[in-house]
Amino acid sequence: MITGHVIRRSLLESSRRFMTPQEITQSTRGCTRSGDPLKIETRNIIDHYHYWKHEAILADLDTKRHNYSVLCINLHNDFNISTVVRNANAFLAKEVIIYGSKQWDRRGAVGSHNYNRMVYFKEDEYDGLLDRISDCHIVCMDNVEGSRDISDVEWPSEKHTILVFGQEQVGIPEKFLEIANEIAYIPQYGTVRSLNVGTASGIAMHEYCRSTCPVV
Residues 158 and 193 in one domain: yes
CATH code where residue 184 lies: 3.40.1280.10
For residue 151, tell me if it sits in a domain. yes
pTM for this entry: 0.78
Task: Answer for the pair 109, 144: CB distance below 8 angstroms, yes or no.
Answer: no
Task: With beta carbons less than 8 A apart as the criterion, state whether 167 and 75 touch.
Answer: yes
Residues 77 and 135 in one domain: yes
Measured CA to CA in angstroms, residue 22 lies from 19, 26, 27, 168 at distances of: 8, 6, 9, 48
pLDDT tens column, 160-200:
999 999 987 888 999 999 999 999 999 999 998 888 999 99
pLDDT by residue (tens digit) across 73-119?
999 888 888 899 999 999 999 999 999 877 766 665 656 777 788 89
Look at residue 190 and tell me if it is in a domain.
yes
Backbone dihedral angles phi then psi of residue 97, each to the nearest 5 degrees: -105, 120
Tell me: do 174 and 131 sit in the same domain.
yes
Q: What local confidence, expressed as pLDDT, does residue 27 receive? A: 44
Pairing type for strands 161-165 and 32-33 reads unpaired
Q: Please indicate, yes or no, if residue 137 is contained in any of the structural domains.
A: yes
Angle in degrees, 0-180, between the axes of helices 197-212 and 78-90, rounded to the nearest 10: 10
Helix (H) or strand (E) holding 202: helix 197-212
Domains held by the chain: number: 2
The last residue of a domain, from among 38, 61, 84: 61
Instruction: State whether 96 and 137 are in the same domain.
Output: yes
- Domain limits for position 49: 19-61
Residue-by-residue DSSP string for 119-170:
EEE-GGGHHHHHHHHTTSEEEEE---TT-EEGGG----SSS-EEEEE-BTTT
pLDDT of residue 135: 93
Residues 113 and 192 in one domain: yes
Judgement on whether residues 41 and 118 belong to the same structural domain of the protein: no
